Amino acid sequence: MRRRVVAPAGVAGLVAALALVMTSPVADAATLAKAGWWWRLNDPTLPVPPPPPPTVPEGGLMVAGSPDGATAVAALSFELDEGEASPILTLTTVSETGGETAIMAACVTGSFWNAASAGRWNEKPSAACEEGSVTGVRAADGSAWSFALAPLVSEGLVDVVLVAGTLPDVPSGAPDGSTFEVVFEAPTAGSLATGAGTDEGGTAPIDAPDFAAPGGEAPSPPPIGDSFTPPAIGGDLSLPAPADGFTPALPESDQGLTATAPVAQQQNPPLAAEPLAERDTKDARSLAAVVLVVGGAAALWASQRSTSSPGRLGRFATPGAAPEGILSAPGGLGRFARPRTGPVPRL
């Protein structure tokens, strides 16, 4: 049974992750295994996939949502180097619509997936947000989005899906999907910054500065020398109060873990194969009986044909049917058969 991970408590968890970036060296210590995005307009029932939006660059990603649910999701898979932990994913924005009010999170992927660009909607990975999710935070100028993925690390693997969420305080039955469209540049290994550590599914112990509550003035981080560079997310921590839990704007059939989930594969041993001797062989026995019946009928028909006169050999085809002095075998076949008279020719 795998250990369930829960997202950091909104802004407090994100602040701690940002403090880690500010107080420790940052290095590109991960390998980007694959990335992709899937588009709801690319319906599998269409004979020809629609052309992808021209705003998405080659290798880029798109995440979008509408009142009736997510319309585009993206996924990324990273492999951390040994001794690296506390990854923070930062994606550079190419274009956005409604990004200021967008609700977006990174969730544990619930199924296996292959890299795609504007892939078919039915081939997207499921989102196992109940297993673990972290809220994305938009830079003040909208130039980037960051995700503190430490709670989603599993045995050195970061495999997440970026998906639109639902709006809080919406009347029951009313459309509640967060409406936006954000296009990102093509991710690279450098998109995931990590710090040294051995923690699994959490951040390393740090002395985080005493950040003020959202909306207040945050004190400056402790000096680290001339090499310090503020994180791409910026210093604006005036964020809306997070909900208790993130709910993806997806139907239930597209949520949760499946048998092909990368995390589930690592945590759970494969199911034991059913012994061959215990399998149900009812269909095999039925097929064997049919073959035996058909074979027996064919043998019976063949034996009857061998003891009877073929109709096409004429009236003298049956041995002993020819008169004396006439050959018992006819000359010719079928309706051309004629009796032969006279003595048997000498050889």
- Give, as one character, the DSSP assignment of residue 311: G
Question: Which residue, among 14, 35, 7, 27, has the nearest Cα to 84 in the 3D structure?
Answer: 27
pLDDT of residue 197: 64
Residue 217: Cβ within 10 Å count: 8
- Give, as one character, the DSSP assignment of residue 59: T
Instruction: Name the pTM for this structure.
Output: 0.61
In angstroms, the CA 135 to CA 13 distance is 10
Structure tokens at 306: 């061998």
pLDDT of residue 347: 67
pLDDT of residue 235: 39
pLDDT of residue 261: 87
Alpha-carbon torsion (166, 170, 173, 176), positive or negative: negative
Burial class (CB within 10 angstroms; exposed 0-12, middle 13-18, buried 19+) of 60: buried
pLDDT of residue 262: 80
- Give, as one character, the DSSP assignment of residue 208: -
Report, as ranges of residue numbers, the positions in the chain whose pLDDT lies below 50: 1-27, 199-244, 265, 268-279, 307-318, 326-327
Q: 315, 306 in Cβ contact below 8 A?
A: no
In angstroms, the CA 75 to CA 228 distance is 30
Question: Which residue, among 3, 101, 118, has the nearest Cα to 51 in the 3D structure?
Answer: 118
pLDDT of residue 312: 45
In angstroms, the CA 124 to CA 150 distance is 23
Structure tokens at 80: 């951390």
* Residue 18 exposure: Cα atoms within 13 Å on the Cβ side: 28
Q: Degrees (nearest 5) of the Cα angle 12, 16, 20? A: 165
pLDDT of residue 202: 39
pLDDT of residue 337: 61
Instruction: Count, in order, helices (H) and strands (E) of the chain.
Output: 3, 11
> What is the C-alpha radius of gyration for the chain, rounded to an integer number of angstroms?
37
